[in-house]
Amino acid sequence: MNATPENTNGLLRVSDLRTYLDVPSGVVKAVDGVSLEVNRKEAVALVGESGSGKSMTALTIIRLQPVVARILSGEILLNDVDLLKLDTASMCDLRGTEVAMVFQDPMTYLNPVMRAGAQVAEVVLEHQDVSKGEARSQVLDAFERVGIPSPRRVYDSYPHQLSGGMRQRVLIAMAISCRPSLLIADEPTTALDVTIQAQIMDLLAHLREELQNALFLITHDIGLVAEHCDRIYIMYAGQIVEHADTFTLFAEPKHPYTEGLLRSTLSPDKRVEVFETIEGQVPNPTDMPSGCRFHPRCPHVKDICREESPPSLDLGEGRMVACWLYE
Amino acid sequence: MTTSAEPVDHQSSNRGPQWRAIWGAFSQNRAVPIAGSLLLVLILLVLFAPLLAPYDPYALGSGSRLGGHSFRNIMGADNLGRDVFSRLLWGGRVSIFVGFSAAFATTVLGLLVGTISGYLGGWVDDILMRFTETFMVIPRFFLALIIVAFFGASIWNIIFAISILTWPVTARIVRSEFLTLRTRQFVDAAHVIGTKRSTIIFREILPNAIGVVVVNASLLTAQAMLLEAGLSYLGLGDPSLVTWGRMLYEAQPFLRQAWWMAVYPGLGIFLSVLTLNLLGDGLNDVLNPRSSEIHRTGL
Amino acid sequence: MAGDYPLLRYSVRRILQAVPLIFWVVIINFTIIHLAPGDPAIYLASVTEATPEAYAELRKEFGLDKPLYVQMGIYLWKLLHLDLGYSTWHNSPVLGVILDRLPATMLLMATAFSIASLMGVVLGVIASRYSYSVGDHLATLASLAGYSMPIFWLGQLLILFFALYLDWLPSQGMYSMRGVEPGWPAVLDVLKHLLLPAITYATYHMTLVFRITRGKMQETLAQDFILTAKSKGLNERRVLYRHALRNALLPVVTVIGINFAYVMAGSVFTETVFGWPGMGRLIFESITARDYPMILGIFLVVSMMIVLANLITDILYAMIDPRVAYN
């Protein structure tokens, strides 16, 4: 599993990934030709409205997409190993050790009838050849690391006895307990109070410094990523529409959708929902518009936008945008 | 898993029943047409019993006592020399009639109470639900047995006993359907534009709840048929009428001599109940598609 | 749990809730005696042809000449002293006859119930793992068939085939008529008699448990914490048994406990078909003999057993699931 010489820095490389879902009303093209990269120790964000396919992208990366999903094409290279070609057992070995995931809602993502400590210890026992006592002390260490004030008490608590913030810390402890090189966090703060949101984001940044892992953050809140991420991918209706480093993206957004997203965050009332600022609605997932999928909502729409989908344009210095305005 | 849940939400947030989606699911479902046509055949068979049955089901001496299969009695004769095939057709008439009437009475009663409880809410709902709760804990089969044993084994008593004991379940199903539908957007919208209450109930809510009620009614018919057969088997059937359960009761002492007395009527109950259960399950799949599959992940 | 005992509080509350139910049953009994056509004395003492003096005696004993509430009081008083009435048919007190028949029922039910529950759960888990495969469809269809079959007809079929056609096993009763030597031969004799009724009842019960287990497992497998468990890199068996089954089993156990009434109804039919000398058979005999006090007595005892079974299930549930007692 050694890195190839030409790109020692690359950790995750996804190219042309397509995950389609077969639902009763038709086919949902949840992930439709997504390519992205995460380098070692880097923090990268994937931003989009709910329903844009960003969670499905993350689930496909760790190969936990729903059973109704079909992966039509693509490559997911983690340390130059294509995850889509691995057998189930090898994939299980990688989950938790190389790539770990923190989910959205700490209420429902913990097993309600198992004590918190046991749920974390399970990861350690699965992947490391250690005794139960050793696993316990490792878990208590991890609890301390994620800022749980009384690790011993939490260890023996059931999830329903813990607060939302505490539960999210338990989930994070679970994810970092085997020191993965890639941590995927899917809307890790959405279900939490605003004050706790900031704490959790700071915790993730702090852990990254300490454990030197890469962070792949998935969120609908572009404001959240500004201070924590190096680069940003913008996703709309199953496709990446723009990519740039954080500073450039905020300074001069190219894609009209990105502009809309930024406007909604910069507006004084932060709670305004994105789709209220950008006119129109997220398209019906089983019946996507022709041409550029954003054209029904785009203020700068041209004739060609309705007919043909725009190519991904390389603007140099790693910038990418998929929009006819820059052709 | 927001993304994966999305398609489902899209469907349910639309207004009213999704007839097109339902029809689409129907055309893919195999259980419903198969079970439906089987049920139709069964109903036609017993409906035309007077034309199809070669003998009077109650006439003694249509065959020789405990006589086996023959040209005269294609399913043999029972201990009193009555023709088993004729009794099977006539018995099915009563069994299926009891099943449908009990299910019908239960559904009407359940719809009524469930609608009142679910739509009005508040203290009316509280009282009605407490009442159904206590009703549900009492062992139904034993109470039905007692009612019939003490008040006489007439067919109407049996139908009464079955429906009076099963309606609380239907009422609760209807009520919970109302509670979820009442909060949906389209009902709110109807409120806002000032639609009358009765119109909201009959035009907006009931058509949506009807799927669950139909599924339930199908399963109820099956249950009622099994209950009737059970009571009859214990000797609590209407003595003046032949039913499949009663035939099994009469067959019990003669198992050694005449297996046909037990096998055919049992087959009748089994096939009808199986058909109704299949129909209920199939309709349920069509009308309330499982969203869980969409959430479930592979390994 | 510092200081207070939620489980104890919960148990006490559940016991208090059970008391009115028992009252309900008593009131139903009493109402039926008075509403049914004919003299209540018939139903209270199963006398059909008694001398006028004996009638007068009875009316006096039960206070039938007094107002209804006094009669209710007398009835309750007798019940509280475990006096369920006198069976003229058996020429002994009702409770004594019922208690005599209980062990046979227990033997049959305990055997069939435990085997069927275990097999139902195991098959249900397997079916949920291979959801919507050919095997799952077949198993589901088979269970639907078992569920749609009148249990007494299944018994008759088994008698026809195994006892009468093949002549392998006895068809009626619990002991051989000829009598066997005490000791092992006697035990073997009972086991031989037990086999067919146990299979009959077990088939019926197993289909029920199978259906519930499969349904609950499918529900549980679609829940969020299953995704967490998979993302930890646990192998499939661990996910299935440690996470899913542990959560799915609780509702399964509850449903079985709450449907204890079905268990008892099943015993009535099984015992009637096979002439098994238990409480279920006693009901059939009492109906035939018009032994009304016995029928009411059995209803009362069965109802108590059901209330008790529900109570035990609820408390067990609270002991296993940490969330219940706290609500």
pLDDT in tens, C115-124: 998 999 999 9
Give me C184's structure tokens: 């092992």
Which residues constitute the domain of residue B218? Answer: 48-297
For position C88, what pLDDT does the model report?
Answer: 75
Residue B37 falls within a domain, yes or no?
Answer: no
Distance of CA C321 to the CA centre of its chain: 24
| pLDDT given at position B16 | 42
| Interchain CB distance below 8 Å, C306 and B230 | no
Q: How far is C284 from chain B (nearest CA, A)?
A: 6
Residue B136 lies in a domain: yes
Structural tokens at position A54: 């960003």
* Model pTM above 0.95: no
> Is B42 part of a structural domain of the chain?
no
Residue B156 belongs to a domain with what CATH number?
1.10.3720.10
Got the DSSP string for C208-268?
HHHHHHHHHHHHHHTSHHHHHHHHTT--HHHIIIIIIIHHHHHHHHHHHHHTHHHHHHHHH
Chain-chain contact of A113 with C250 (C-beta, under 8 angstroms): yes
Residues of C with Cβ-Cβ distance to A101 under 8 angstroms:
231
Q: Which stretch of DSSP H or E encloses residue B151?
A: helix B140-151
Mean pLDDT of B101-117: 91
Q: Which residues does C33 contact at the CB level (< 8 Å), separation at least 6?
A: B150, C40, C43, C44, C296
Average pLDDT over residues C149-171: 87
Residue B29 lies in a domain: no
For C269-302, write each residue's pLDDT tens digit. 999 999 889 898 898 888 888 888 888 888 888 8
Residue (of A244, C194, C144) closest to B219 by Cα position: C144
Mean pLDDT, chain A cut into blocks of 10 residues (327 residues total): 55 92 83 92 90 90 88 91 90 91 86 90 91 93 91 91 90 91 90 84 91 92 86 92 91 89 65 56 79 86 87 85 86
Local structure of residue A162 (DSSP, 8 states): S
Q: Is B292 on the interface with C (CB under 8 A)?
A: yes
The answer to whether residue B203 is domain-embedded is yes
Sign of CA dihedral C266, C272, C278, C284: positive
Crossing angle between the packed helical segments C260-274 and C94-129, to the nearest 10 degrees: 110
Distance, in Å, from the CA atom of C263 to the CA atom of C275, rounded to the nearest integer, reads 18
pLDDT in tens, C178-231: 767 777 877 888 888 888 999 999 998 899 889 889 988 988 888 889 999 999
State the nearest Cα–Cα gap between B191 and chain A, in angstroms: 25
Report in angstroms the alpha-carbon separations of C114 from A117, B134, C70, C121, C198: 34, 29, 45, 11, 11
Could you tell me which chain A residue has the CA closest to the CA of B298?
A67
pLDDT of residue B199: 73
Question: How do residues C59-107 score in pLDDT, each as one tens digit?
Answer: 777 777 777 777 788 888 888 888 887 777 788 888 999 999 999 998 9
Cite the beta strand spans of C37-88 per DSSP E. 86-87
Indicate which of B4, B30, B234, B284 best probes the interface with C, i.e. most C CBs within 10 Å of its own CB.
B234
How far from each other are the two terminal CA atoms of chain B, in whole angstroms? 16
Question: CA torsion angle for B6, B7, B13, B19 (degrees, to 10)?
Answer: -170
Question: Hey, of B39, B141, B250, which one would you mutate to test binding to chain C, going by the most C CBs within 10 A of its CB?
Answer: B141
Q: CB distance C231–A126 less than 8 Å?
A: no
In a domain, B200, yes or no: yes
Residues from chain B contacting residue A288 (CB–CB below 8 Å):
none
User: Tokens standing for C34?
Assistant: 């008075």
Q: Count of residues for chain A?
A: 327
pLDDT of residue B20: 59
Residue B30 falls inside a structural domain: no
Query: Residues near A131 by Cβ (< 8 Å), separated by ≥ 6?
Result: none
- CA dist B72 → A182, B53, B264, C75 (Å): 82, 12, 17, 58
* pLDDT mean across residues, chain C: 83
On whether any CB of chain B is under 8 Å from the CB of C109, the answer is no
Do residue A65 and residue B2 have CB atoms under 8 angstroms apart? no
In B, which residues are within 8 Å of C28 by CB distance?
138, 143
Work out how many domains chain B is built from and give that number: 1
What is the distance between the alpha carbons of residues B37 and B54, in angstroms, rounded to a whole number?
25
C neighbour chains, 3+ CB pairs within 8 Å: A, B
Predicted-complex ipTM score: 0.86
B9 part of a folded domain: no
Q: Which of C28, C274, C305, C78 is nearest to C174 (CA)?
A: C274
Q: What is the pLDDT of residue B187?
A: 63
In eight-state DSSP terms, residue A316 is: E
pLDDT on residue A118: 92
C205, C112 contact by CB (below 8 A): yes
Q: What is the DSSP letter of B196?
A: -
